[in-house]
């Protein structure tokens, strides 16, 4: 392996980083996304290399992934398995192609495997009906709902992202050591970003002898410079109330107690001081909740709350599809405020408005 391949210094070819100790990362591009890429990690084991995530289902992403595996000194056909941190398309998208090329098994937490199964079986028109109903209940204006209703009426219904992703054939069991000869990799269930998100704790000495307890593949749960999207868990078949933000905050504290020497996330870059980053995120979300509670001094629907929240750009500049994601995040925060007894629904309001308590 050349030095350029190990460090990602080559101008042509994949950006690959050797994290030492039989661990590499490959920057796999995400098309038309400000995140730029997903860091797919490769872990050497006694039965062959194992991937942590796969990247978006896109020809350029596939070519980058396979070239990156080669740069690490392996071949895609020799992959032993794939560990999926969560079901989102930039993590699970290429899993079917990986399995087709290698015969590798694919493992995922049961809760996210259920999401993959629903997505593969979903009739797009029915999902569109669900989205219209959900946005209507959130107080979305007619001008936002009109394109969705027109698409449904005219039969202009596209397939859902992720419908080509593979169904996993193994389950990642929380707390269990994974069956990877020569490695101690333990599954850590960290719901919040998705119901079945997992981090993977490599319980081995850090190759640079940094203080702490091994290394953590953190997926999207713990990132060095951004907070992951926390929205409502979507399941048209299940109306059971959930609290994704509460799940996320509890999962953050769980990860902090692991005290890893280094975190290897799926976006941005590797970093240390996991506990410090957790503290920053806990403070961020408490401040955000306090700000939303202040906004609820005036009763608002979830849509109105999303309009009033601070985002990375003014509401008028947020793309159409991203507004749906923003409303889901507003609803997740609202639900957590209600769970804490800090907000309540206004009796008799339609669509339902919420106010601070």
Which range has the worst mean pLDDT, 120-129, 215-224, 245-254? 120-129
Confidence label for 238 from pLDDT (cuts 50, 70 and 90): confident
Question: What confidence tier does 311 reach under pLDDT thresholds 50, 70, 90?
Answer: very high
**pLDDT > 60? residue 1:** no
Q: Using the 8-state DSSP alphabet, how is residue 78 labeled?
A: G
The beta-carbon contacts of 248-252 under 8 Å, at least 24 apart in sequence, are 248/190, 248/191, 248/192, 248/193, 248/221, 248/285, 249/192, 249/282, 249/285, 251/189, 251/190, 251/191, 251/192, 251/197, 251/221, 252/192, 252/221, 252/222, 252/278, 252/281, 252/282
Q: According to the model, what pLDDT value does residue 159 have?
A: 58
Give the pLDDT score at 10: 36
Any idea how long the chain is?
357
Give residue-wise pLDDT tens across range 127-168. 888 899 999 999 999 999 999 999 888 777 665 565 678 999
CA distance 357 to 353: 13
Q: Which residues pair with 345 in a beta bridge?
A: 354
Measured distance CA(188)–CA(55) in Å, rounded: 21
| CA gap 245, 281 in Å, rounded | 12
Q: Looking at residue 297, what is its pLDDT?
A: 97
Tracing tokens 């290897």 back to the chain, one arrives at 264
Distance CA 356, CA 132 (A): 27
How far is residue 156's CA from residue 153's CA, in Å, rounded to a whole number? Answer: 8
Reported as type and span, the H/E element at residue 279 is helix 274-295
Q: Report d(CA 155, CA 297) in Å as an integer.
A: 42
CA distance 134 to 328: 10
Q: What secondary structure does DSSP assign to 229-264, as a single string?
A: P--PPP-TT------HHHHHHHHHHHHHHH--SEEE
pLDDT at 36: 93
Which alpha helices (H) appear in 89-186, and where do they start and end?
89-92, 95-102, 110-121, 124-137, 142-153
Query: In the predicted model, what is the mean pLDDT of residues 322-338?
Result: 96
Structure tokens at 109: 């937490």
The 10s digit of each residue's pLDDT in 66-100 is 999 999 999 999 999 999 999 999 999 999 999 99
Provide the β-strand partners of residue 48.
46
Would you say residue 43 has pLDDT above 90? yes
In whole numbers, what is the pLDDT of the chain averaged over residues?
92
Residue 121 confidence (pLDDT) = 82
């Amino acid at each position: 392996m050349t030095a350029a391949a190990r460090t990602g210094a080559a101008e042509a070819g994949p950006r690959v980083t050797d994290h030492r100790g039989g661990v590499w990362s490959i920057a796999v591009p995400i098309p038309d996304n400000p995140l730029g890429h997903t860091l797919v990690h490769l872990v050497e084991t006694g039965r062959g290399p194992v991937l942590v995530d796969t990247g978006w289902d896109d020809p350029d992403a596939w070519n980058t992934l396979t070239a990156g595996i080669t740069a690490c000194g392996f071949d895609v056909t020799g992959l032993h398995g794939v560990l999926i941190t969560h079901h989102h398309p930039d993590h699970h998208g290429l899993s079917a192609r990986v399995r087709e090329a290698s015969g590798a098994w694919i493992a995922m937490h049961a809760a996210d495997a259920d999401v993959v199964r629903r997505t593969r079986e979903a009739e797009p028109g029915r999902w569109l009906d669900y989205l219209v109903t959900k946005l209507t209940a959130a107080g979305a204006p007619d001008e936002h709902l009109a394109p969705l209703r027109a698409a449904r009426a005219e039969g202009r219904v596209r397939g859902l992202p992720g419908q080509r992703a593979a169904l996993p054939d193994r389950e990642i069991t929380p707390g269990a050591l994974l069956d990877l000869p020569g490695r101690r990799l333990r599954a850590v269930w960290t719901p919040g970003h998705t119901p079945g998100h997992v981090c993977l704790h490599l319980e081995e000495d850090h190759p640079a002898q940094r203080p702490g307890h091994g290394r953590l593949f953190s997926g999207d749960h713990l990132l060095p410079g951004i907070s992951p999207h926390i929205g409502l868990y979507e399941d048209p078949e299940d109306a059971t109330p959930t609290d994704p933000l509460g799940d996320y905050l509890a999962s953050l504290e769980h990860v902090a107690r692991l005290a890893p020497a280094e975190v290897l996330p799926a976006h941005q870059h590797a970093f240390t001081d996991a506990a410090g980053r957790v503290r920053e995120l806990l403070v961020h979300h408490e401040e955000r909740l306090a700000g939303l509670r202040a906004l609820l001094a005036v009763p608002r629907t979830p849509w109105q709350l999303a309009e009033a929240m601070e985002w990375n750009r003014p509401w008028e500049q947020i793309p159409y599809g991203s507004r749906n994601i923003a409303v889901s995040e507003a609803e997740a925060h609202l639900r957590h405020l209600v769970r804490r007894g800090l907000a309540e629904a206004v009796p008799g309001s339609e669509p339902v408005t919420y106010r601070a308590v």
